[in-house]
Amino acid sequence: GDSVTQMEGPVTLSEEAFLTINCTYTATGYPSLFWYVQYPGEGLQLLLKATKADDKGSNKGFEATYRKETTSFHLEKGSVQVSDSAVYFCALSPNTNAGKSTFGDGTTLTVKP
């Protein structure tokens, strides 16, 4: 079955540091890939997405590129802020009718001033 593996957390960074959260996936076919963010006490919000190989999703300074050859979708941000502290989930959605989204275990990011 489909699976998503995220780098283990938690991750603690100083403000303005560079962020990378690794995500690799296993799926048949060509799934769409997503990063969701969850702030304390809230639901998940879509951060960015990519629907085909080599697509780059970007939003709020975050970026991720769909790499089919390495089955990866790593999240990056050049300069994190305290307000980026949250839990980040990588997810995939298959392109078949029978599919359902598969989520990674989440990575907790804490940014210190």
Partner 1 sequence: DAMVIQNPRYQVTQFGKPVTLSCSQTLNHNVMYWYQQKSSQAPKLLFHYYDKDFNNEADTPDNFQSRRPNTSFCFLDIRSPGLGDAAMYLCATSRDTRSYEQYFGPGTRLTVT
Choice between 76 and 103, CB closer to partner 1: 103
Near partner 1 by CB under 8 A, which window of 20-28, 35-43, 64-72, 76-84?
35-43
Cα–Cα distance for residue pair 3/41, rounded to 1 Å: 26
Within 10 Å of residue 58's Cβ, how many Cβ atoms?
A: 14
Q: Does 80 bind partner 1 (CB under 8 A)?
A: no
**Residue 47 parent element (H or E):** strand 44-50
Cα–Cα distance for residue pair 23/5, rounded to 1 Å: 6
Cα–Cα distance for residue pair 60/68, rounded to 1 Å: 24
Least CB distance to partner 1 at residue 23 (A): 12
Is residue 29 left, alpha or beta, with left meaning phi > 0 and alpha meaning psi from -120 to 50? left
Near partner 1 by CB under 8 A, which window of 15-23, 65-73, 74-82, 97-105?
97-105
Least CB distance to partner 1 at residue 83 (A): 18
Choice between 16 and 33, CB closer to partner 1: 33
Chain residues binding partner 1 by CB under 8 A are 31-32, 34, 36, 38, 41-46, 49, 51, 87, 89, 93-101, 103-106, 108
